[in-house]
Amino acid sequence: MLNPFNPKYPIRPEFFANRQNELERFRRDLRRTADSKLPENIAVLGDWGVGKSSLAYKFMDIAAKSNVKALSSGFGVPRTVKDVGEFCYLLLYKLNQDLITSKGISSRLKDELLSWRTDQLKLGPFTMQRNEKETPKIPITQLHSGLIDMWASLHREGVEAVVLVVDDLHHLLQAVKGGILDVRSIFQDLPRYNCNYQLVITGYKGLFSEIREMAEPMGRFFNTYEIKEFNKNEAKELINTPIHAAGLDIKVTEDASDFVYEKTKGNPYFVSFFMQMLVEERKKGVIDIQFIKDRVSKIMSELEREKFEKDIGIASEFERRVLKKMMSKQEIVRLKDLCGKKDKTKVAKALNRLVEKNLVIKVNRGEYKLYHPLFKEYLSSGRFK
Of the pLDDT bands very low, low, confident and very high (cuts 50, 70, 90), residue 343 is confident
Average pLDDT over residues 267-271: 97
Residue 7 neighbours by CB under 8 Å, 6+ apart: 269, 270, 272, 273, 276
Nearest residue to 335 (alpha-carbon basis) of 308, 366, 307, 310: 366
Cα diameter, the chain: 67
pLDDT at residue 125 tops 60: no
pLDDT at 22: 97
Secondary structure of residue 73 in the 3-state scheme: strand
Of the pLDDT bands very low, low, confident and very high (cuts 50, 70, 90), residue 180 is confident
pLDDT at residue 132 tops 70: no
pLDDT at 205: 85
pLDDT at 211: 63
Q: d(Cα 302, Cα 97) in Å, to the nearest integer?
A: 36
Of the pLDDT bands very low, low, confident and very high (cuts 50, 70, 90), residue 130 is very low
pLDDT at 319: 94
Least confident window among 10-14, 18-22, 177-181: 177-181
Of the pLDDT bands very low, low, confident and very high (cuts 50, 70, 90), residue 176 is confident
Nearest residue to 48 (alpha-carbon basis) of 359, 385, 276, 302: 359
Amino acid at 89: Y
pLDDT at 127: 44
Q: d(Cα 205, Cα 216) in Å, to the nearest integer?
A: 15
pLDDT at residue 385 tops 70: no
Fold (CATH) for 316-379? Arc Repressor Mutant, subunit A (1.10.10)
Across the chain, where does the E strand assignment appear?
A: 42-45, 70-76, 161-167, 197-203, 223-226, 250-252, 285-287, 333-334, 360-364, 367-370
| Top-ranked range on mean pLDDT: pick from 40-44, 116-120, 337-341 | 40-44
pLDDT tens digits, 290-342: 999 999 999 999 999 999 999 999 999 999 999 999 988 788 999 988 887 77
pLDDT at 123: 64
Amino acid at 64: A
Amino acid at 138: I
**Average pLDDT of every residue of the chain:** 91
Nearest residue to 199 (alpha-carbon basis) of 56, 98, 87: 56
pLDDT at 384: 66
pLDDT at 128: 44
Q: Which residues of 2-22 are buried (b: 16+ CB within 10 A; e: fewer)?
A: ebbbebeebbbeebbbbbeeb
Q: d(Cα 328, Cα 348) in Å, to the nearest integer?
A: 18
pLDDT at 260: 97
Average pLDDT over residues 239-245: 97
Amino acid at 244: H
At 284, which helix (H) or strand (E)? none
Environment class of residue 132 by beta-carbon count within 10 Å: exposed (0-12), middle (13-18) or buried (19+)? exposed
Of the pLDDT bands very low, low, confident and very high (cuts 50, 70, 90), residue 244 is very high
Domain 19-226 is in which class?
A: alpha beta
pLDDT tens digits, 205-215: 888 776 666 77
pLDDT tens digits, 99-111: 999 988 999 999 9
Given a contact cutoff of 8 angstroms between Cβ atoms, the answer to whether 251 and 286 are in contact is yes
Q: d(Cα 204, Cα 228) in Å, to the nearest integer?
A: 11
Q: Which residues of 230-254 are buried (b: 16+ CB within 10 A; e: fewer)?
A: beeebbbebbbbbbeebebebebee
pLDDT at 210: 65
